[in-house]
Structure 1
Amino acid sequence: MGKSLRNSLRWLLPSLILSQAQAFYIPGWSIKSYKENEHIPLFVNKVYSDNTQLQYAYYDLPFVCPPTGRSHGPGLLSGQSISLNLGEVLRGDRIITSDIDLTMGQDKECSALCSQVVTRKDLRRAKELVQEGYVVEWIVDNLPGATSFVTVDKSRKYYAAGFKLGFTDYSSSTGKPRYFLNNHHTIVIRYRNAPGRDGERGGKVVVGFEVYSKSVGPNMKRENGCPTDLHDVEDHFELYMPPNKTTEFQSQYAHSSYHPEAIEEGDDDDTITVPYSYSVYFREDDSIEWNRRWDLYFVNSEEGSRIHWLAIVNSLIICGLLTGIVLMILAKTIRSDIKGYKEGSIEDGKLRIKRKGNRTPRSEKTGFGLLEKEDETGKEIDISSDDEALEDVTGWKLLHADVFRKPEYGYLLAPLVGSGMQLLFMAVGLILLSAIGILNPSFRGGFISAGVGLFVFAGVFSGYFSARVYKTFDGKDFGKNALVTACLIPGLLFGLIFILNLFVWAQASSTAIPFGTLVAIVLLWLCIQVPLVYLGSWYGFVRTGAWEHPTKTASVPRQVPQQAWYAKSLQAIFLAGLVPFAVIFIELLFVFQSLWQDKSGYYYVFGFLAVVSIILILTIAEVTVVTIYVQLCSENYHWWWQSFFIGGGSAAWVFLYCIWYYFANLHISGFVSSMLFFVYSFMACCVYGLLTGTVGFLTAYAFVRRIYGAIKAD
C-alpha cells in the first residue's frame, strides 16, 4: 500500500500542472483563414433554456425566417444541413446554413432578412419560449454567437454564449408581464491577421463572434424592410395579437399597455407579420490570440481556479488522514497479529504450535481450523474441542476457512465488476484526453463521441475482468457470463434512454435522439462491443484463469455473530460513502453548474478534475480497506458484495445532492424536463457507483489476499 501511495503521489505534480491547461486547439488542425471579401458562412443551430431540458432546432420554430435555398458559394446553400458527429446529435445539435450574408471586411448597417407571417398559434408558441427564457445559438467559424459583458470594474470582458430569443417586461401600472420578440440582430465579427505565411498573404482569422439582439416594433418607420433608426427604438415587437372581434374586454383595455389573456383568444388562422433584419460589423482586434479565443467564454475562470485549489487541498487532507489510518492498520495492527504466529506453521488447515518440553501445558489459539497443544513430553494433543483454547482467538484470524467462500449471486457480481472496469477505462481516457486539450470546446460533440468510442472498445477489459472474477467464483460457462456482461448494463442504459426518448419525441424537441442514430448505437453495441467482450472473456477465462487464494475453504460455513450497528450492511455503506463524497463535493458544484445551469457554458478545468479523480480513487480504496478490515474483525466474512457497495456508496450521497440541487438551484418547469433531470441524474449516479464500486471491490480483494497470504507465508 505504501508503494502504491508513493506511485500515486509521484503523478500528483504532473497532474497539478495539467490542471492549469485551458481549452486550446491542437496547432494546425482546425485553423481557418478568410481572404478579404470572402464569404463567411453563418450556421443556425438550436434554442435552449436553463429552465428546461428541452431544446428545439432553430428552423423548426414557426415564427422565424425559413431558409430560402440561397447560394453562399460553391456547394453551400442556405437550409443545407451540416454533417454531425455522434456527440453533436446526442447533445441535440441541428446545424443548418442560414440566409445571413457575411463577407469578410464588409459592414452592413442594416439588411432585411424576411417578413414572416405567423398565426395566433405560432405567436403563442413564441410567447411560451420567451417566457421560459430560451436563448439562440448561432455559429461562425465554429464559435457560438455570444453576448458580451464586462466586469464591474470594467477591467475584463467576457462572453455568455447565445443571445436571447426575446425578453419580458412588466407593466408599470399593473405589474403584469408583457413578452417581446427580438427581431433585429446586430452581428459583430472580430478578426485579426492569420498567423504565419497565411497572414502575410492577407488571410484573416475570426477571434470573436458577438450577437446583440433587439426588439423593433411593427410601427417603426422602415425603408427596404429595415428600421430607419436603430439607435433609438421605443416601440418593441410585443407578442400580442388583438382579438378578431370586439369584446367587452377589448374596449376596456383599448388604451392600456396591458393586454389580458382573455382578449388574446381568437381564431388560430388570424395572422400577423414579423419583420426580421440584421446588421453586420467587422472589427479588427489584435488583443485576442486565435488559439486563446475560447477563453472569453470561461466565466469566472480566475475565481474558479482558487476554488478548485481549495477543493484539492480539502481532498488531500481527507485522503492524507485515511492514508495514515490504513498505514497504521497495515504496519502496526496486522503485522503485530502476524508476528505472533511466526513460530507456527500451517499444514492442511491446522496450526501446530511447537513448544519446548517441561513447560506448563496451555491452550493456544490460532483461528485456522483445528487447535493443538503439547504435553510435557512434546507430544501434540488435539484440543479442537477445548472451548477454553478458543478464548484468545478473535477477529479476522478466525475466518481463515471462510473468507474466500464464494458469495451468493456471484454470477451477477462478476458482470458488474467487468462493466465497472469498462467504465473506469472510459473515464480515465476521457479525463486524460480532455486534460491535455485534445477534447476541447472547438471539437463540438467530441467529448460524447470519444466517450461512446472508448466505452465500446473497452469491452475487451469488461470481458476479461468479468471472466476472471467469474472463474474465481467457480463459474463454468464463460460464454453465458460474457453475454450477461455485454448486455446487462448497456441494455439497461439503452432501455431507459429509449423510454425517455419517447417522451421527448412527443415534445418535438431536438433533444430527442433520431431513430437512425438509435439504430447506429445498437449496431455499435451488438456488432462491435459484444464480440470484444466475448474475446476478452475467452482470454480471461481460458488463457489466464482464476485468481488463486492463499487458504482453503471449509465445507461447513461458520456462523456470523451479531454485528454492531455501524458494521451492519446499510449503515456501513452510507457512512463509508460520506467520505468520498466529501472529497468531490466542491468539484460537483462546477460539474452541476456546467451540466444543468450553464448549458451554454463549457466545463474546461479537466486538469483539476483529473487530480480530484486520482484522490477520489485513493480515498475509495482506503475507505474500503478500513471498512472491510473492521468487518473481518467482527468475524463477518460476507465481504464480497459489501466491498462493492461500500466502494459505490458515495453514489447515494451524490443522488441526494442532485435532489437538493434541483429544488435549491434550478428552476426547471414541466413534467418532461423534471423527469429528464431525475432519470439522467439517476443513470449518472448508477454509472458512477458501478465504477467506484469496482475500485472498492478490487482493492478489498487485493487487501484480503495480501493479509491471509502473509500469514500463510509466515
Structure 2
Amino acid sequence: MDLDPVWIPMGTPCALSKDEKYFIHNHLAFLVKYHKDENSDLSRIVGFEVKPFSVKHQFEEKWNDANTRLSTCDPHANKIVINSDTPQEVEAGKDIIFTYDVGFEESDIKWASRWDTYLLMTDDQIHWFSIVNSLMIVLFLSGMVAMIMLRTLYRDISRYNQLETEEEAQEETGWKLVHGDVFRPPTNSDLLCVYVGTGVQFFGMLLVTMMFAVLGFLSPSNRGGLMTAMLLIWVLMGLFAGYASSRLYKMFKGSEWKSITLKTAFLFPGIAFGIFFVLNALIWGEKSSGAVPFSTMFALVLLWFGISVPLVFVGSYLGFKKPAIEAPVKTNKIPRQVPEQAWYMNPAFTILIGGILPFGAVFIELFFILTSIWLHQFYYIFGFLFLVFIILIITCAEIAIVLCYFQLCSEDYMWWWRSYLTSGSSAIYLFLYAGFYFFTKLQITKLVSGILYFGYMLLASFSFFVLTGTIGFCACLWFTRLIYSSVKIE
C-alpha cells in the first residue's frame, strides 16, 4: 500500500453564500488487479478500479512537506480511507490536502478477457428493439415487392405477351409503352458512373471491414486499428470501383475510359481529402494535440496516388475490355414525351419519401455509433451492426424498386438518377439527425469544435449518400432488365 499526501494552497477565495456548502473529492483509492500466469511466475495487470472520497485530513503539529504524518491517512499505522464520513469542505482561503492510495489484488480474469468488464452489454434490449424495428420495415417493403413481382408484374407480362395486334398494343398503358426509352442513357451519365463506382468501393470496404470485426480480428479497444483497416481496404477496393464505373460507362456507349477512370479515382477522394484538410487546419490553428501530423497526411496522399489510383486504372481497364452490357430492348432514336405526372409522382416528393425508410431502419443503431465517436465510448457489438447493414441493403433495394415500378407505370422512363437519389436521400435525414444529436446530447460551445462536428458529419452523410444511392441504383438496374426481358417486344 502506497500513500502520498500533496499540499495545495487555495489562494483564490470562492464566492460562496452563507446557505451553500461545497465539498471536493480529495482522495483517490486505486485498486490494481493482476492475473498470475499458471505456467510462470509472471503477472499481468488485467484491470483497475478508482474510488473517490472526500476526507478532511488531519495531521500532527505543523506541515512538513513529505515528512508530515496524517492521522486520517497513514500507511505506517495502516490507516486507509474507506468512507467520506468527514467530507472536505471548500472554504475561502483554506488549504486542501490531496492524497491517494494504491492497492493490488489478484484476479481470476485472464489477459484475453480483460476488456469484458468495459464491453459488458447492458443495453441489449435497445439493440434488439432496433433489429425488430428494422425487420418490420423490411417485411413491409418485402410484402410490397412480392405483390408487385408475383401479382402485378406477372399479370402485366401475361397480358402483354397475349397481345397480337398493333392496335391492341397501342391501347395499352403502363410500363411496356416506354420500352423504347427506358434504357436511354441519362443526362450526366459520366457522373452517374463515377458515383456508382465509388459506391461499389464503399460497399466492399464496409462489407469486408465488418466481416473482420464480427470474426474478432479488429478489437474495439483499438480505434486506430479499425480506422487503419478501413483505409487500407478502401484503397484496395479501388480495383472494383474502376471496374464498376467502366462497365456502366461502356453500357452508356462511352468510349473515353481514361476520362471516367480519372474522375472515379479523384472525385470523391478529392472532396473527402479537401474537407479533411480544412478541418485539420482548424485543429492546427487551435494548437491541439489531436491534429493529424504532416507525416500522416503525406502517408494518406501516398496511399491515394501510389495504390488507389493505379488500382482504379487496372479495374477500369479490365472492365472496359469486357463486352458491353446489352439492353434487353432496343432504344428509339427519338425520345418519347413524358406525360404530365400526378403530384405524388413529383421527383422531389418521391425522392424525399424514399429516403425515410432506409434511415428508419438504422437510426437507432446510429445513436450508439455517434455516442461511440463523439463521447469516447466503445462500440463493440459488430454482430448487431452487421445485421443492420444487411437490413439497410435490403431496404434501399426494395424502396428503390417499388418507386421505380410506380414511375415506369406512369410512363416516366427517366429512372436512372431518380433511383440513385431515392435511396441516397436517406443521407439528408442522417445529417438532420446529426444536428439533432449535437443540440440534445453534446455540450459543445466552441465555434471550432462545432465546425469540426458538422464538417465530419457532412463527410459521413456524403459517404452514406454514395453507398445507399448505389445500392438503390443497382437494384433498379437489375429490376428493369428483368421485367423488360420478360415481355415480347415487336
TM-score, scaled to structure 2: 0.88
- Matching of residue 280 in structure 1 with residue 102 in structure 2: yes
Letter in 1 for 2:326: E
Residue aligning to 1:523:
302
Separation (CA, whole Å) in 2 of partners of 1:538 and 1:436: 34
| Offset, 1:234 | 5.8
Residue aligning to 1:458:
237
Larger CA deviation: 523-532 vs 309-318: 309-318
Partner residue of 1:296 out of 99, 104, 117: 117
Separation (CA, whole Å) in 1 of partners of 2:457 and 2:87: 45
Change (3 A) 1:406 1:258: farther
Residue aligning to 1:669:
445
| Offset, 1:444 | 4.6
Partner residue of 1:203 out of 42, 46, 53: 42
Deviation string 1:231-278 (CA, Å, 9 cap, x unpaired) is 378668x8xxxxxxxxxxxxxxxxx7399xxxxxxxxxxxxx999875
Partner residue of 1:188 out of 21, 27, 31: 31
| Offset, 1:515 | 1.0
Separation (CA, whole Å) in 2 of partners of 1:501 and 1:176: 43
Separation (CA, whole Å) in 2 of partners of 1:175 and 1:538: 76
Separation (CA, whole Å) in 1 of partners of 2:101 and 2:21: 32
Change (3 A) 1:474 1:235: same
Letter in 1 for 2:312: V
- Matching of residue 337 in structure 1 with residue 156 in structure 2: yes
Residue aligning to 1:327:
146
Letter in 1 for 2:355: G
Alignment of 1:592-611 (within 5 A): 592-597=370-375, 599=376, 601-611=377-387
- Matching of residue 587 in structure 1 with residue 365 in structure 2: yes
Partner residue of 1:364 out of 159, 167, 189: 167
Residue aligning to 2:324:
546
Deviation string 1:51-73 (CA, Å, 9 cap, x unpaired) is xxxxxxxxxxxxxxxxxxxxxxx
Separation (CA, whole Å) in 1 of partners of 2:368 and 2:359: 15
Letter in 2 for 1:192: H
Separation (CA, whole Å) in 2 of partners of 1:227 and 1:489: 66
| Offset, 1:332 | 1.2
| Offset, 1:185 | 5.4
| Offset, 1:170 | 8.6
Letter in 2 for 1:108: D
Separation (CA, whole Å) in 2 of partners of 1:564 and 1:554: 25
- Matching of residue 617 in structure 1 with residue 393 in structure 2: yes
Find the residue that maps to 1:224 and give its secondary structure: helix
Alignment of 1:119-518 (within 5 A): 171=16, 173=18, 186-194=29-37, 199-212=38-51, 221=63, 223-224=65-66, 228=70, 229-230=72-73, 231=81, 257=92, 279-286=101-108, 288-298=109-119, 301-302=121-122, 304-343=123-162, 353=164, 364-366=167-169, 390=170, 392-518=171-297
Find the residue that maps to 1:711 and give its secondary structure: coil
| Offset, 1:583 | 1.2
Separation (CA, whole Å) in 2 of partners of 1:306 and 1:647: 28
Instruction: Please list every run of 5 or more consecutive structure 1 residues that lacks an aligned counterpart in the other structure.
Output: 1-106, 124-168, 239-255, 260-272, 345-352, 355-362, 367-389
Deviation string 1:491-517 (CA, Å, 9 cap, x unpaired) is 100100100111111112122111111
Residue aligning to 1:38:
none
Letter in 2 for 1:546: A
For the 8 Å contact 2:160–2:488, the answer to whether it is kept is no
Change (3 A) 1:282 1:219: closer
Residue aligning to 1:378:
none
More helix by share: 2
| Offset, 1:208 | 0.7
Separation (CA, whole Å) in 2 of partners of 1:684 and 1:171: 46
Separation (CA, whole Å) in 1 of partners of 2:250 and 2:334: 21
Deviation string 1:445-489 (CA, Å, 9 cap, x unpaired) is 111010111101110011100111111112111111111101100
Task: Name the larger-Rg structure.
Answer: 1
Residue aligning to 1:707:
483
Separation (CA, whole Å) in 2 of partners of 1:177 and 1:553: 80
Letter in 1 for 2:487: I
For the 8 Å contact 1:109–1:279, the answer to whether it is kept is yes
Separation (CA, whole Å) in 1 of partners of 2:102 and 2:47: 13
Residue aligning to 1:369:
none
Change (3 A) 1:201 1:497: same
| Offset, 1:581 | 1.5
Letter in 2 for 1:485: T
Separation (CA, whole Å) in 1 of partners of 2:406 and 2:150: 16
Change (3 A) 1:633 1:177: farther
For the 8 Å contact 2:54–2:87, the answer to whether it is kept is no
Separation (CA, whole Å) in 1 of partners of 2:485 and 2:367: 43
Find the residue that maps to 1:340 and give its secondary structure: helix
Change (3 A) 1:528 1:217: farther
| Offset, 1:621 | 0.5
Change (3 A) 1:275 1:111: closer
Find the residue that maps to 1:190 and give its secondary structure: strand
Separation (CA, whole Å) in 2 of partners of 1:488 and 1:530: 11
Separation (CA, whole Å) in 1 of partners of 2:237 and 2:360: 29
Deviation string 1:270-297 (CA, Å, 9 cap, x unpaired) is xxx99987543211122x3433321221
The two structures, once aligned, show a CA RMSD in angstroms of 3.1
Change (3 A) 1:339 1:312: same
Letter in 2 for 1:203: L
For the 8 Å contact 2:5–2:97, the answer to whether it is kept is no
Letter in 1 for 2:141: L
Deviation string 1:27-60 (CA, Å, 9 cap, x unpaired) is xxxxxxxxxxxxxxxxxxxxxxxxxxxxxxxxxx
Change (3 A) 1:177 1:688: farther
| Offset, 1:424 | 0.7
Letter in 2 for 1:429: V
Residue aligning to 1:568:
346
Separation (CA, whole Å) in 2 of partners of 1:217 and 1:418: 66
Separation (CA, whole Å) in 2 of partners of 1:424 and 1:170: 58
Find the residue that maps to 2:185 and give its secondary structure: coil
Change (3 A) 1:223 1:681: same
For the 8 Å contact 1:463–1:537, the answer to whether it is kept is yes
Change (3 A) 1:225 1:456: farther
Letter in 2 for 1:208: G
Letter in 1 for 2:42: G
